[in-house]
């Protein structure tokens, strides 16, 4: 959802209010009060967030790599965030068309009876994981020193939203599993491969554990947060276990609560514990589109009572002219009403 560009009317008065007075203390607010937005939105937006009681910014990078400025915009956001008490956390999508197309071969996620996702990497492609996860993380850290970063495994260029349609049945995966005879299981016969899912989950775990151990050796204190780390998908399970075994600090930015509030988060906590991450921070998300302003404080408080904090998707909806909002960004009220609701919940226990 990070491809929208262009700025609407500036919230000039709000910026003045946010920057003219000292930031208030929100002693009763949840530990993490995060906002998800896009890197082009600038330092003024951080001022708005601080004035409303936020202490973390999940800054989504739209490109598959840092722009030609070498991360200058991200460095500016980080420096400004540090100066006002808002931690900047770079975030990106694992799905990366340019990185995928640069790899040799056409190994792609293939599920069911031959559904071939031409723009989605095979989850057992170690070269893709190295490029889209490890190299991308190193690129960010070379540009700006951060203690946290986050990655989203959601698929935007596929008929599925995640690796959740079962194991990959590309020719490479079938050959790895069953040898040359594995190709005979392509198409309808693939259902006969009963052990393929557990085999692939184990392979993904070992690939990721090795990469994450490399990362941890170089950056022992850097946290990698994952959106929906608790999702019941063999790739997510493998990644969670690899984070646990490698020692890389992990966090779950959970979207289960996007429309439901905090009632669903104990289930997420239980899944993290079962995957070896009982102490990983759980940060529940709320989707602004799903809540009217007067409903927002109750939803956020319910999340805070079951998690280590919350994140809002997305304050882009409060930044651009409301007349330009569409799709997932449409609101049920005015931006001013949402800002008031956010200030209210951040100012009280």
Give pLDDT tens digits along the chain (349 positions).
Answer: 444 444 443 333 333 333 333 333 333 445 899 999 999 999 999 999 999 999 999 999 999 999 888 899 999 999 999 999 999 999 999 999 999 999 998 999 999 888 999 999 999 999 999 999 999 999 999 999 999 999 999 999 999 999 999 999 999 999 999 876 656 566 545 556 789 999 999 999 999 999 999 999 999 999 999 999 999 999 999 999 999 999 999 999 999 999 999 999 999 999 999 999 999 999 999 999 999 999 999 999 999 999 999 999 999 999 999 999 999 999 999 999 999 999 999 987 6
- Beta strands 223-227 and 56-60: pairing type? unpaired
Query: E strands, 222-281, where?
Result: 223-227, 250-254
The predicted structure's pLDDT at residue 228: 98
Residue 14 parent element (H or E): helix 12-20
Spatial separation of the C-alpha atoms in residues 254 and 207, rounded to whole Å: 24
Evaluate whether 100 touches 122 at the Cβ level (below 8 Å): no
**Per-residue model confidence (pLDDT) at position 27:** 37
Give the C-alpha separation, 19 to 27, whole Å.
Answer: 20
What is the number of other CB atoms lying within 10 angstroms of the CB of residue 9? 12
- Of residues 248, 250, 342, 249, the one with CA closest to residue 304: 342
**Tens-digit pLDDT profile for residues 52-99:** 999 999 999 999 999 888 899 999 999 999 999 999 999 999 999 999
State residue 349's pLDDT score. 61
CA distance 109 to 163: 8
| pLDDT for residue 35 | 98
Phi, psi torsion values for 311, nearest 5 degrees: -135, 150
d(CA 185, CA 253): 37
Residue 211 to residues 1, 133, 138, 217: CA-CA distances in angstroms?
27, 9, 12, 10
Between helix 72-84 and helix 136-143 the angle, nearest 10°, is: 60
H-helix or E-strand spanning residue 138: helix 136-143
SS3 120: strand
- Residue 221: the pLDDT is 97
Question: Where do the domains of the chain lie, and which CATH numbers do they carry?
Answer: 32-347 (3.20.20.80)
pLDDT at 194: 80
Please give the model's pTM, rounded to 2 decimal places. 0.90
């Amino acid at each position: 959802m990070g491809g929208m560009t262009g700025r609407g009317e500036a919230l000039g008065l709000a910026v003045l209010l946010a920057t003219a007075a000292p930031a208030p203390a929100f002693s009763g607010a949840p530990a993490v009060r995060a906002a998800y937005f896009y890197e082009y939105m600038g330092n003024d937006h951080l001022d708005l967030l601080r004035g409303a009681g936020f202490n973390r910014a999940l800054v989504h990078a739209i490109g598959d790599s840092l722009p030609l400025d070498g991360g200058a915009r991200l460095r500016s956001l980080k420096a400004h965030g540090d100066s006002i008490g808002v931690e900047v956390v770079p975030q990106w999508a694992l799905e990366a068309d340019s990185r995928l197309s640069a790899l040799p071969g056409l190994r792609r996620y293939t599920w069911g009876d031959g559904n071939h996702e031409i723009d989605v990497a095979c989850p057992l492609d170690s070269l893709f994981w190295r490029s889209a996860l490890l190299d991308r993380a190193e690129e960010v850290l070379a540009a700006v020193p951060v203690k946290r970063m986050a990655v989203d495994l959601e698929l935007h260029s596929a008929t599925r939203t995640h690796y959740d349609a079962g194991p990959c049945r590309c020719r490479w995966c079938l050959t790895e599993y069953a040898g040359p005879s594995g190709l005979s299981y392509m198409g309808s016969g693939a259902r006969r491969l009963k052990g393929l899912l557990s085999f692939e989950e184990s392979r993904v775990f070992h690939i990721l554990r090795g990469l994450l151990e490399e990362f941890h050796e170089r950056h022992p204190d850097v946290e990698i947060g994952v959106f929906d780390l608790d999702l019941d998908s063999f790739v997510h399970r493998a990644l969670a276990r690899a984070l646990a075994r490698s020692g890389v600090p992990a966090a779950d930015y959970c979207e289960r609560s996007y429309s439901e509030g905090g009632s669903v988060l104990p289930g997420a906590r239980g899944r993290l514990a079962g995957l070896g991450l009982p102490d990983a921070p759980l940060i529940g998300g709320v989707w602004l589109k799903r809540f009217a302003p007067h409903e927002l404080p109750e939803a956020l408080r319910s999340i805070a009572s079951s998690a280590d904090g919350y994140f809002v998707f997305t304050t882009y909806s409060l930044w651009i002219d409301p007349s330009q909002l569409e799709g997932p960004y449409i609101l049920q009220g005015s931006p001013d009403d949402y800002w008031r609701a956010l200030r209210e919940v951040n100012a009280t226990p």
